[in-house]
Amino acid sequence: MAGTALEKVRSEALRLPESDRAELAHSLVVSLDGPADADVEPAWDAEILRRLAEIDAGTAELIDREELRRRMRARMSRA
C-alpha cells in the first residue's frame, strides 16, 4: 500500500470510536495469524484447568501485579 494510502486509512481509523478501533485492531491482528491449529484450544483448556487446580491446592506460586510488572520489564529489557 502506498504511503499516502496508508496514512489516509490510519487517519480515518483514528477518528473511529474506541470500540470500533479495538474491533478493527483485532481484525487486523487476526489477519496476520496463520491458520488455526485444532489442538491449541483443547491444550489451553487443559493448561488453564491444571493451573486452577494448583491454585486450589495451594501449590501455585502467586505474585502480585507489581511483581508481574517488574518481571515483564526485566524480560523486555533483555530482548
Is 78 buried (19+), middle (13-18) or exposed (0-12) by CB count in 10 A? Answer: exposed
4-34 tens-digit pLDDT? 999 999 999 999 999 999 999 999 999 998 8
Q: Which amino acid is at 10?
A: R
Q: Is 63 helix (H, G, I), strand (E, B) or coil?
A: coil
Q: Which amino acid is at 37?
A: D
Q: Which amino acid is at 70?
A: R
**CA 57, CA 47: separation in Å to the nearest integer?**
15
46-77 tens-digit pLDDT? 999 999 999 999 999 999 999 999 999 999 99
C-alpha cell at 8: 489516509
pTM, whole model, 2 decimals? 0.49
